[in-house]
């Protein structure tokens, strides 16, 4: 009764959860703001895309992707062979157990005549598939908790998924091990399929099963078993049990566990440990089933779907109804494996600022939370804003994503949405706020020594003080070599409407202690950091490094020192 209620309850929750996910794919606004396509348009466009892909040459790409990336997972082995082995062990082991064992009444019984879970090869195969999954789980635990790879973050959802899988498979092996020596299980078998009143046959069968099948009987003396009784027991076994029972030694994982636990068999049989383990095993499975649509377990559906979509989609999608639907699916396809973070170009920035959202895997989780809570404007915290604009859109995270997520499109959409909300990137804000305008006549000097000290008290990093040490730039001879080497100045020369203060002029402003004017020069912000001016300077003045420090100081003034920002106007 409890089994039936739990099964239908978990199945109902799972179905409702899957329907909720399906609806969210066609209704979730992944734009944050701006154009949002209705669910009717999204379903219509998705249907056209699916039909158009199936009945076209794109079908070849779908089949190829399904075999190579969904089944064999070969796209993972390029980036991390260790993770591929773990992933393939869990994926294949769990999938084969699901169809062969959990769905045996629907799949195995229909496909294989004379199927019984206790006969070979199914008894052995179940142990093989279970062992594959356990090995994969151990490798995942080792990768996350033992190796502790840098930039690989483990959250509570990852831990819960690993623990739940471990409970399911460990309890499964223990259940099979306990059932091997269980006297109550043997008695139940005799009552269901034999004749309990045939005392002599039952006793002979006990003798045979105690010897060959390692069942532990509390009231049976195995030391005085004669060959005649064993032969009788064997005949009864062949006539009644052999068709549905192979020797337990074929369960090469469960049988050694059973032998190890056999000294405690009388006690375990007495408290019906097999029943307790049965409840633990199936309740854990039912919890996993109910939890599937709301957890990272859903990626067994969404990750293959994302990979198949990627195989036929435009790598640089435009803002269309299908783009919104694809992003909604991709938000559920992330496995939080951390591969994107391990290959992120700006990961060193995270090590300095210690903002987790800089890492792609963490930023995607934050993006998902923001999208699902768009009514709460406070959820877009400054750390997320910094993380979004730190991204250089280098495309590396998209290239290595094992779930086929177009992360670059996700980041560009996020930046566009932040801009629409009035949250601009630091470069634009600083340049607009600090660059000197032609009609600006009154510029208020700033005590930069005091500002430096205040910034240093607040931040862990240290400035090089290039802009405060006169010996850094006073030897400039105004030869214009830096100006002649600068590609930005060369570009400005072809545009008569654009006037820039040249590098040697900025050095002269600093010698005149007009740092507040130098910091406003457009050239400081348009500098490409190519280092040509610094390499060509005959006086070895670190011009590019000075420009970089000016920009850094401007950012800190703009974002972290409101009083001085107000003084800048």
Q: Residue 442: what pLDDT?
A: 43
Closest listed residue to residue 353, CA positions, set 389, 399, 398, 401: 389
How confident is the model over 523-527, as a mean pLDDT?
84
Q: Which segments of 262-406 does DSSP mark as H helices, in order?
A: 265-270, 273-291, 299-312, 321-333, 339-342, 347-353, 360-372, 382-390, 396-400
Residue 285 has pLDDT above 80, yes or no: yes
Global pTM reads: 0.71
Report the alpha-carbon distance of residue 142 to residue 151 in Å, rounded.
15
Cβ-based neighbour number of residue 469 at 10 Å: 10
More confident residue, 306 or 78: 306
Q: Residue 438: what pLDDT?
A: 46
Task: Please check whether residue 523 is in contact with residue 503, taking contact to mean a CB–CB distance below 8 angstroms.
Answer: yes
Largest CA distance in the chain: 116
Q: Is the dihedral of CA 21, 27, 31, 32 positive or negative?
A: negative
Q: Residue 374: what pLDDT?
A: 60
Report the alpha-carbon distance of residue 322 to residue 65 in Å, rounded.
20
Residue 274 has pLDDT above 70, yes or no: yes
Report DSSP letters for 164-210, one per residue.
HHHHHHHHHHHHHHHHHH-HHHHHHHHHHHS-TT-HHHHHHHHHHHH
Task: Looking at the structure, give the CATH architecture of the domain made up of residues 432-567.
Answer: Orthogonal Bundle (1.10)
- The set of residues, in sequence order, having a beta carbon less than 8 Å from that of 443 and lying 6+ positions away, is 436, 516, 517, 520
At 128-163, the pLDDT tens digits run: 999 999 998 888 888 777 766 667 777 788 888 888
Report the alpha-carbon distance of residue 567 to residue 444 in Å, rounded.
7
Residue 277 has pLDDT above 90, yes or no: yes
pLDDT-derived band at 445 (thresholds 50, 70, 90) equals low
Task: Please check whether residue 161 is in contact with residue 296, taking contact to mean a CB–CB distance below 8 angstroms.
Answer: yes
**pLDDT-above-90 percentage for the chain:** 14
Task: Please check whether residue 236 is in contact with residue 204, taking contact to mean a CB–CB distance below 8 angstroms.
Answer: yes
Q: Residue 439: what pLDDT?
A: 46
Task: Please check whether residue 117 is in contact with residue 129, taking contact to mean a CB–CB distance below 8 angstroms.
Answer: no
Domain coordinates in residue numbering, the chain: 2-26+40-180+278-297, 182-251, 321-423, 432-567
């Amino acid at each position: 009764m409890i089994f039936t209620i739990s099964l239908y309850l978990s199945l109902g929750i799972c179905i409702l959860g899957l329907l909720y996910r399906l609806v969210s794919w066609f209704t979730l606004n992944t734009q944050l703001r701006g154009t949002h396509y209705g669910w009717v348009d999204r379903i219509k466009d998705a249907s056209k895309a699916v039909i158009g892909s199936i009945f076209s040459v794109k079908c070849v790409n779908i089949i190829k992707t399904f075999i190579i990336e969904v089944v064999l997972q070969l796209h993972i082995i390029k980036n991390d062979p260790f993770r591929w082995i773990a992933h393939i062990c869990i994926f294949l082991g769990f999938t084969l157990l699901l169809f062969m064992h959990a769905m045996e009444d629907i799949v195995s019984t229909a496909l294989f005549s004379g199927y019984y879970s206790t006969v070979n090869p199914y008894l052995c195969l179940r142990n093989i598939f279970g062992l594959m999954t356990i090995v994969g789980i151990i490798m995942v635990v080792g990768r996350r908790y033992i190796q502790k790879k840098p930039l690989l973050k483990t959250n509570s959802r990852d831990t819960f998924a690993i623990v739940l899988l471990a409970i399911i498979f460990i309890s499964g092996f223990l259940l099979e091990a306990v059932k091997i020596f269980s006297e109550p299980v043997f008695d139940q078998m005799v009552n269901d399929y034999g004749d309990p009143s045939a005392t002599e046959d039952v006793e002979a069968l006990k003798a045979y099963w105690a010897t060959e099948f390692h069942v532990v009987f509390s009231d049976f003396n195995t030391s005085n078993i004669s060959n005649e009784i064993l032969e009788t027991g064997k005949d009864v076994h062949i006539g009644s049990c052999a068709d549905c029972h192979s020797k337990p030694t074929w369960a090469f994982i469960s049988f050694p566990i059973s032998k190890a636990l056999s000294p405690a068999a009388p006690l375990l049989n007495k408290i019906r440990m097999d029943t307790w383990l049965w409840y633990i095993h199936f309740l854990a499975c039912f919890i996993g089933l109910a939890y599937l649509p709301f957890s990272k377990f859903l990626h067994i559906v969404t990750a293959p779907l994302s990979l198949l979509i990627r195989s036929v989609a435009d790598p640089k999608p435009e803002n269309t109804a299908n783009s919104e639907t694809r992003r909604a699916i991709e938000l559920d396809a992330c496995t939080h494996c951390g591969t994107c973070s391990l290959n992120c170009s700006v990961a060193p920035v995270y090590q300095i600022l210690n903002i987790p959202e800089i890492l792609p895997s963490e930023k995607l989780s934050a993006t998902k939370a923001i999208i699902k809570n768009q009514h709460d404007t406070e959820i877009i915290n400054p750390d997320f804003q910094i993380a979004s604009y730190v991204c250089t859109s280098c495309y590396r995270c998209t290239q290595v994503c094992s779930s086929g997520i177009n992360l670059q499109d996700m980041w560009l959409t996020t930046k566009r949405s932040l801009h629409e909300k009035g949250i601009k990137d630091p470069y634009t804000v600083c340049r607009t706020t600090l660059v000197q305008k032609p009609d600006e006549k009154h510029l208020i000097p700033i005590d930069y020594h005091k500002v430096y000290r205040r910034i240093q008290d607040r931040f862990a990093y240290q400035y090089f003080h290039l802009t405060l040490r006169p010996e850094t730039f006073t030897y400039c001879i105004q030869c214009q070599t830096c100006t002649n080497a600068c590609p930005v100045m060369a570009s400005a020369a072809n545009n008569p409407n654009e006037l820039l203060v040249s590098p040697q002029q900025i050095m002269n402003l600093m010698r005149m202690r007009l740092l507040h004017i130098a910091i406003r020069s457009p050239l400081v912000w348009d500098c490409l950091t190519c280092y040509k001016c610094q390499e060509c300077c005959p006086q070895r003045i670190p011009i590019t490094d000075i420009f970089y420090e000016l920009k850094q100081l401007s950012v800190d003034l703009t974002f972290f020192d409101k009083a001085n920002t107000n003084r800048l106007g």
